Structure 1
């Protein structure tokens, strides 16, 4: 296998033989990442060559995750471990979606993905059930109003009394009270009494999530866009993502090179992605 060399802060290094990508300096990683993104672009997904380039990019750019996670260091050492792990998910998403043709530095592209994943982690773990931000803020205001009125009146305040103190309509106070139920959750292992089956746990009464339901909306949006493609492009999409043929196998069916199929798939996915984003 041919090797590629690049001048870094250390002596000349063959990028195909990096002993420990995690020790590459951020400055060198910026330049070397371009070479490995280029290698990913010309190698078929799932091959050892493609996987090696992807894994190397992940390890070389871990410093971006540590940099982004540093903004949240006040959370404490235990939570920082979770933050770094979540940030790694953002880094991997950025690597899988980055294209050299964007003419933008990978660092500028990756940081929003990493920070966004971390913020999503905070949002999803702070509340047992996700509720709109305005109701999260109203819950805090409601707790303070409840405490003040309980102390002043010596009893639980009514919705009207809370509404007057909080300067909010009564229906919004009720919404905030309902939202408060989502701040804490009960364990699925919590024992409950059932008249028919005796003692059971809460998990016994909760149905499983149908993962396919999450894709229904995407399929509904994609269907008309795929229908508008010409016959050859529809076949390529079907062969690659339904029959799961490799690019080389598709190239054999159409009597063209694997590289040509790779470019066609990239163009088709960009077109469909743009259409999906415009419908959101």
Structure 2
């Protein structure tokens, strides 16, 4: 089956699910988009210690959430709509878990062995050993020992302004060491923007208009009310309702909520 035929089939299923939701149609859509979930899970697995298979399962939760919220008549490509939901489920889990930095097994073993060596040297020397003495006892370079220590300390999220080294004229921060951090940030912003845009598209028309005029165009509520054709008080009600609905739409969906 070609990519084009898959896209056509996917849109047909999405339209059918939108008109008459069923577990059978939803499962067909999940199977059809499983490649997208696995692709995102693989990328995320390269940046964390969570098993790939577990990330895939989390991704399926996000995919189901996207299927249930997608509206074919809005004109969005489903893949663009679904990516923030799939990736969001994985990142929410990793953020809640806290341990998001993947440490090579060798560095983990070096830290464990280094602790044993440090205790032994302390007993032998009658003082805490120097870092160079620990590295020598482990028969590794000082650089490798320092890298393993740094990785161990950075298992939890840290400030990107943390100094991890020095050049001739300025310190080197953790942010400086991250590859393509600016591009990754832009990508995350775009994914968040698409997810927010998709959520706003699900609101009632006048609620969408109120949010656009007040929050995006920065108009006073009285002026926004004239554009929409309602009273300023009604604009306020639309804004409050819209905010509450957006909070609900953008929250990660738990298995219990999916089953309900």
- TM-score w.r.t. the length of structure 1 is 0.35
Q: Which fold has the larger relative contact order, with Cα–Cα distance below 8 Å and residues 6 or more apart in sequence?
A: 2
Normalising by the residue count of structure 2, what TM-score does the alignment of the two structures yield? 0.38
